[in-house]
């Protein structure tokens, strides 16, 4: 039995320890905002926060997470009001939207380290794939969110 805290709620998970966190979130707990894209930590659609750090949950086994605090897109804010979410809406970033939970979680963690990122910081650290190519809007939204946090 593994105990994890997901979006503030404690959960007892009884499953094989090699099961990736992604599938615990989606199939066991029923939080479907975190998406499956590649299964090999390439695309980042499954990004969540584990103890505050952005991680690709498809490649993190649940057995390594006993006692961990996990935040998913559903727990980032109660009402879509996190500065990154607001910036995403204001810049109309999502198209198909499938990768955006992961993008938002990656950027929310990134901005904790890079409060006022340069474009080079963004290039080096925001590496999730978006097949719709929302990158221009995404870059604008990162700067917008950084400015909102700063203000």
Partner 1 sequence: MRATRVAPDLSRRQVIFTAGSAAGGLLIGIGMAAAPGGARAATVSNKPWDDKDSAPHELDAWIAIDPDDSVLIRYQRAEMGQGSMTALPMLITEELQCDWSKVRIEYASATRNARENRVYGNMYSHGSMSVRESQKMVQQVGASARERLIAAAAARWKVPASDCMAAQSVVTHRPSGRTLRYGELAAAAAKIKLAKEPTIKTPAQFSFLPRRMPRVDVAHKTDGAAKFGIDAQVPGMVFAAIAACPVPGGKLKAVDESVLSGAPGIVAIVKLDHAVAVVATDSFWRAKRALSRLQPQWDVGAAGLVNSAQLSKDFRAALGAKMVVARNDGDVAKAMSRGARTFEAIYETPYLSHSPMEPMNATVNLQADRLDVWVGSQDAEGALHAAATASGLEPEQVHVHNAFLGGGFGRRDGNDEIVQAIAIAKVVKRPVKLIWTREEDMRHDRFRPHAVVAFKAATGSDGLPTAWSMRIVTSSIFQSVGIPFPPDKAEPPAVDGLVSNGYAVPNQRIELLLKNTHLPVWFYRAPGANQHVFAIEGFLDEIAAANRLDPYRLRRKLLAGKPDWIKVLDIAAQKGDWGKPLPRGSGRGIAICNFTDSLCAQVAEVTVKPSGEVKVDRVTVVLDTRNMVNPQTIVEQAESSVIFGLTAALYGKITIKDGAAVQGNFDTYRMVRLAEAPKIDVHLAPSGGEVWGGAGEPAVPPVIAAVANAIFAATGKRIRTLPIVDNDLRSA
Task: Give the x-and-dash track for 107-136 against partner 1 (CB under 8 A).
Answer: ---------------xxx-xxxxxxxxxxx
59 lies in the binding site for partner 1 (CB under 8 A) = no
37 lies in the binding site for partner 1 (CB under 8 A) = yes
76 lies in the binding site for partner 1 (CB under 8 A) = yes
- For residue 71, the minimal CB distance to partner 1 (Å) is 11
Q: What is the DSSP string of the chain?
A: -EEEEETTEEEEE-S-TTSBHHHIIIIII---SS--S-SSSSS-TTEEEETTEEEEGGGSBGGG-TT-EEE-GGGS-SSS-SHHHHHHHHTT--SS-TTHHHHHHHHHHHHHH-SS--HHHHHHH-----TT--HHHHHHHHHHHHHHHH-
34 lies in the binding site for partner 1 (CB under 8 A) = yes
97 lies in the binding site for partner 1 (CB under 8 A) = yes
């Amino acid at each position: 039995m593994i105990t994890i805290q997901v979006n503030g709620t404690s959960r007892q998970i009884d499953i094989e320890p090699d099961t990736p966190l992604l599938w615990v979130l989606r199939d066991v707990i029923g939080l479907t905002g975190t998406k499956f894209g590649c299964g090999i930590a390439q695309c980042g659609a499954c990004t969540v926060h584990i103890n505050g750090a952005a991680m690709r949950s498809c490649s993190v086994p649940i057995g390594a997470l006993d006692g961990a605090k996990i935040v998913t897109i559903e727990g980032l804010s109660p009402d879509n009001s996190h500065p990154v979410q607001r910036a995403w809406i204001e810049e109309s970033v999502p198209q198909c939207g499938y990768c955006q939970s992961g993008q938002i979680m990656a950027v929310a963690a990134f901005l904790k380290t890079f409060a006022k990122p340069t474009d080079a910081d963004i290039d080096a650290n925001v590496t999730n794939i978006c097949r719709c190519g929302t990158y221009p809007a995404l870059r604008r939204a990162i700067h917008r969110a950084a400015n909102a946090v700063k203000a």
